[in-house]
Structure 1
Amino acid sequence: MKTIAACVEEVLITQPFLEEALFRNIINFSALAEELQQPISDMLRKPVKTGAIMMALRRYNPPTHLRSSNKLKRVLKNLGDITVKSNLIDFTFQNSKTLINKHAKVLDTLDPESFYGFSRGIYESNIVVSKSEQQKVLSHFKNETMIGSQDDLSAISIRLPKDNSKISGLYYQIFKRFAWEGISLYEVISTTNEFTVLVENHLVEKAFSAIKNLNA
């Protein structure tokens, strides 16, 4: 049978901003319990007292990435260089047996100074290039199925600490900052020690500022 504590945990897991505010003690337990009274009563199909919800909130055990916030702060303060590349275009193609060969042809003719990013999923692949290389991609991929394209994009790349893969919650902090600032991401490209986000050109300054504030 479902308990009040289980319901509280379920609600908090689906609302990470609320969960973090609770962990940082910047939210009123009593007010939150009143806010959650009806949803949790509905989940349990019976009336629930706010006092019981408040007790569950106080006993809630936050996830590891929130308990280790001090370690996360140290990592965020050691973020490496932030690089911005503008005037990019993103192409999405349906995967095919010949797609990789087309990539090889583009790479053979690509300007070494231009931006190039590639990611492959199960059903589709993305290519991000400098706008100056647009015609090369269109020429080499003319017989492939293009799902879509988007220009006027900028890439913001961040060098991550070498042990970033062992830090739980690092990407959560980055995405949370973008969400708080109302910045929509067009695409994300990640390597072991580098993290790149693609945003529309008009959002690049706001996105850059959001990343800089991660280590504030």
Structure 2
Amino acid sequence: MRIVLVGPPGAGKGTQAAFLAKNLSIPHISTGDLFRANISQGTDLGKQAKAYMDAGNLVPDEVTIGMAKDRMAQPDAENGFLLDGFPRNVSQAEALDVALKADDVKLDAVLDLEVPEDEVVKRIAGRRICRKDSSHVFHVTYSKPKQEGVCDVCGGELYQREDDSEDTVRKRLEVYHTQTEPIIDYYRTQGLVVTISALGKVDEVTERAMDALKGDK
């Protein structure tokens, strides 16, 4: 299957993408991984992306699209892939359609993870990260530490990242609504969109997504 995964920040796209890709035996292709791989390998596209990033500028669509096209052309993606974080806007979606058509393939589904805005804010703004080890993550509601402000694992101080503040989260949501959400309507006209609720336990959402992709909506 060839799937595009969309949803607002905090919808759990990265988590669901990993589980779905494993269940469907297709590679999970995320924008972040594409950038890191190309930059670390020193590819031409990676050098271009790094130059823009070092200058504090957004990486142009054509560079991101080029990376995605190269990755989708790899042998492990021959029978399908799951795109996470790409396309990010309608112009990228249009470019993806052109690229797939050139290879005589098409998308099977666009999986839209739906989460109420207040829940997104609650999920992200409630996160607390350990200063000693950022892999230790807690939540003021869903995964409370035994002692407030103290990491259960190493005793480090727990803090809220600036990116996780409520104001920043709401700004990120505005960007999502303005730039990325329009691709849902774009794909809906092609009959590709499958919308599911991303509320509940991780395995419940995965099961819901698998059922929807199979057509058992």
Q: Which has the higher strand share?
A: 1
TM-score computed with the length of structure 2 as normaliser: 0.30
Which protein has greater RCO, CA pairs closer than 8 Å, 6+ apart? 2
Larger Rg over CA atoms: 1
